[in-house]
Amino acid sequence: MDVVKEVGATWEIPADLRLSLLALLSADPTLVATMTYEEFMEWADADTLAEWVDGRVVMTCPASKRHQDLGAFLLHIFSEHARTYDLGDVTGAPFQMRLPTSGREPDVLFVAREHLGRVLWTRVEGPADLVVEIVSPESRVRDRGEKFYEYQEGGVGEY
């Protein structure tokens, strides 16, 4: 086992990890590593702040308190309305919506009663009928650009 020494610390790096790190460091930086959606779902866990887009893992930042408060408010209002009128299912992030080229986690998503077959245990397989993204300064380009076109191409009814 190799040992890397830092000032005041000693870290033991397992051989397989060392080889993986060396492979990453020596790889062509212009090449982008990709994975299938199934590989992504196997790799990511409930605490992973990431989405899958065109075979790439896109890491996201933790949400601010204001973002969380607004999301909770919208989730409550939409959920109560949908439940009262038996319209369908409302879910908040983190919950995947799988489209042909992406697996995103919208802040709030609504699936109409007639499309509830799309709601699986771990994701919505196909477009939601309504998707809400709470836009922050950090996410403006992604939410109003990339996701807008992705959701439109993927068949999301309202965004």
Whole-number Å distance between alpha carbons of 10 and 3: 7
Cα 57 to Cα 15, 61, 86, distances in angstroms: 25, 13, 36
Whole-number Å distance between alpha carbons of 79 and 43: 30
- In the structure, what pLDDT confidence band is assigned to residue 34 with cuts at 50, 70 and 90? confident
Whole-number Å distance between alpha carbons of 1 and 15: 6
Structural domains for the chain: 65-154 (3.90.1570.10)
- Strands 2-6, 9-13: pairing is antiparallel
pLDDT at 25: 66
**What is the mean pLDDT of the segment spanning 77-98?**
96
- Pair of tokens at residue 50: 């990431």
**What is the mean pLDDT of the segment spanning 85-104?**
95
**What is the mean pLDDT of the segment spanning 76-103?**
96
pLDDT at 27: 62
